[in-house]
Structure 1
């Protein structure tokens, strides 16, 4: 039970309690000032230190007798701090009456430099005359350490970012070189014909699976193919390489398009029959050259139908219905077709990255009908002109084109117009 002193008549000694509490409160205030977690000092207007707390004295490694009345505030600062105090701190304090959060360094007795944050306020008399300056000093050593660590972390992160960007550039360069190695460096020249290609890589960080080729297959015969391997990356690149060389070898052994696709199917199915299955879509064809036309025999293994732009007007697909994926089944069916190209006609092969591009605000599928209409709306000016037009179209898709796209166009140049001969006047 709590007891209180009472007077003889039994009443509590209130005045004694007030005096004891006031004394205790004064002791607490003084202790708080001296042992505060920050430094306190008061200076005369000329900077002479009039009062300083124990906390700041401990930081400085000095006694009160060494400081009070003997040193000025600027004597506690480093050379740089003194210059800043004279040029900025003191003038601002004189004009505004206060300044806060200024980063300075104080100098301990042993020469140690202590980073601090300083806030000062001018105390004035009742008539507004400045009397003294009260200053609070916060230890910024932990903050300085944190800032240094933060800067170090930022430097490390920046260096890691630069290294990652350099690594990515090197990777993209290596992938670009490897991608080019999976395609012919340039198309051969076919007597009496024109050929044009275009290849768009959807991502510079991944190897694409689209491929094409054009090469001689005997007297007055040229083989061509265009395909799309399922997937991307190194695995797709391996299938691409295998498909290219298999089709080349098959064409030299037997130029029949269905036979070439059957051979490729056998190789892929046996190679990838266990584990991760791999397959592709391919159009393979043979060009039979003659003086006034080119015969085309082709077969399709699950690939989009070839498009023919006729010189005399009209553009349509060459149907190859029922052709199955190459490599997916042991005994698939491949669809064959035949046509002829005359001067000014162009045969276009493409991968589904073109027709499956997304267009417009609604990101609608571009589709085969839009491709046919695009080709029909252009003059029949040959393979190069058609591929150039499609290249501009593809560039306009922007991020709507999210798959690799390959184009291969073949055709006979249109005959040059016969110059008119001037008649007699």
Structure 2
């Protein structure tokens, strides 16, 4: 990760995955008014620099903070204890710590839940000079987790009541189904945002209405003309899987625009899951992509990073279909360090990209065999060339045709470039 005042390369730079800042932003403005908090401290914790965003969250003036307070002075009592016993020792040993949940206290006495990432800057001789810290507002995530826990308690209470009152079992079962459906719906984006020059479609096929699944997907703007999208699958089912899904979506949305590379995005997610769940081992498979307009001609550059997820499928304008393998990618949340595989392609007019979870390829057909990736490749080749809406509708119909053979939820997300081509990005 670069220094807090350094903007990432622009989307049209052709460097990395195209995570860029709007051209009109200055480095100072990006630092001071970033959507996250930045601060730098001396090695003893004394604050030497802090941006306007974080000062606003704390309701404090720069003069009363810089040179007068330490980072721990901004934390609650519990936050100070955790910082001294866990955060600071890890930072000293590793040189950086990412995605740690803490609470700040504002000048008004309010508590502000945040995600904190810190890194030690060293000099040419290797001696530590200062600590740079990024702070993300986690208020919405904390509220959502509280709501999920409340919903979990309601579901458990409802199940106990149903067991005691057999006459109301069917009524309670329907209510629980509605609750599960509501929870599942809240885990997915209600509507995918429009991307200029790109057709986007998605669907979620529920295998059982009695349990919340752990499949997820999302699409959102990163910066400038760059768009991020991801699709994945959390291990297990139920409310805990739903809470994990919520944590993953929030973490990716909050940190992706500020992380310098696709592997770093998934490495940060891996750290968050390990720190949150530890030996409880809540993990996921995921594929994360970045879509950037290609200034060399009509089309888009797409970079994909995979953490143990089935390969994406490209349906070409030439009528052929092929997988985009990212070999070696590891599950996210299992190991302390992960190897993230990436691949980059160019999508031109008439090309369509399909992402899916293994609920599709592991569905059982009339025979006791899995549907499998080979059958999906043949199915896609018969459709190519096509568009995202047509492809998603066809795959949804395929899943419906499997009936009870679908034993796991299946999420699908497709992006396509219209055959007549996207409009070139404005200069």
Coarse TM-score class (shorter-chain normalised) = 0.5 to 0.7
The residue number in structure 1 matching 2:174 is 169
Post-superposition shift, 1:352?
Answer: 0.3
Cα distance in 1 between the residues matched to 2:216 and 2:260:
19
Cα distance in 2 between the residues matched to 1:246 and 1:237:
14
Post-superposition shift, 1:161?
Answer: 4.9
Does 2:262 correspond to 1:257? yes
Does 2:340 correspond to 1:334? yes
Does 2:333 correspond to 1:317? no
CA 255–214 in structure 1, closer or farther in 2 if over 3 Å, else same: farther
Q: Does the CA-based 8 Å contact 1:196-1:408 persist in structure 2?
A: yes
Post-superposition shift, 1:265?
Answer: 0.2
Does 2:401 correspond to 1:396? yes
Greater radius of gyration (CA): 1
1:371 to 361, 368, 376: 376
Q: Does the CA-based 8 Å contact 2:316-2:384 persist in structure 1?
A: no
> Which segments of 5 or more consecutive residues in structure 2 lack a partner in the other structure?
1-161, 422-427
- 1:40-80 CA distances to partner (integer Å, 9 max, x unpaired)? xxxxxxxxxxxxxxxxxxxxxxxxxxxxxxxxxxxxxxxxx
1:356 to 340, 353, 362: 362
Q: Does the CA-based 8 Å contact 1:196-1:410 persist in structure 2?
A: yes
User: Counterparts of 1:11-410 in structure 2 under 5 Å?
Assistant: 160-254=165-259, 256-274=261-279, 276-290=280-294, 292-360=298-366, 362-410=367-415
The residue number in structure 2 matching 1:19 is none
Cα distance in 1 between the residues matched to 2:375 and 2:253:
33
- 1:371-396 CA distances to partner (integer Å, 9 max, x unpaired)? 00000011422011011111111111
Bigger shift: 223-232 or 254-263? Answer: 254-263
TM-score under structure 2 normalisation? 0.59
Q: Does the CA-based 8 Å contact 1:343-1:412 persist in structure 2?
A: yes
CA 310–200 in structure 1, closer or farther in 2 if over 3 Å, else same: same
Cα distance in 2 between the residues matched to 1:295 and 1:379:
20
CA 164–324 in structure 1, closer or farther in 2 if over 3 Å, else same: same
Q: Does the CA-based 8 Å contact 1:217-1:255 persist in structure 2?
A: no
Cα distance in 1 between the residues matched to 2:189 and 2:417:
21
Count of aligned residue pairs for this structure pair: 257
Cα distance in 1 between the residues matched to 2:408 and 2:256:
29
- 1:212-258 CA distances to partner (integer Å, 9 max, x unpaired)? 00000001100000000000001111110000011111211125221
Cα distance in 2 between the residues matched to 1:255 and 1:189:
25
Post-superposition shift, 1:272?
Answer: 1.1
Superposed CA RMSD in Å reads 1.6
Cα distance in 1 between the residues matched to 2:311 and 2:383:
20
Post-superposition shift, 1:160?
Answer: 4.7
Post-superposition shift, 1:312?
Answer: 1.4
Post-superposition shift, 1:268?
Answer: 0.2
Structure 1 runs (4+) deviating above 6 angstroms are none
Q: Does the CA-based 8 Å contact 2:320-2:384 persist in structure 1?
A: no
Which secondary structure does the structure 2 equivalent of 1:359 belong to? coil
Cα distance in 2 between the residues matched to 1:376 and 1:312:
10
Cα distance in 2 between the residues matched to 1:402 and 1:316:
26
Cα distance in 1 between the residues matched to 2:384 and 2:167:
49
Q: Which has the higher contact order (CA 8 A, sep 6+)?
A: 2
Cα distance in 2 between the residues matched to 1:163 and 1:216:
47
Post-superposition shift, 1:162?
Answer: 4.9
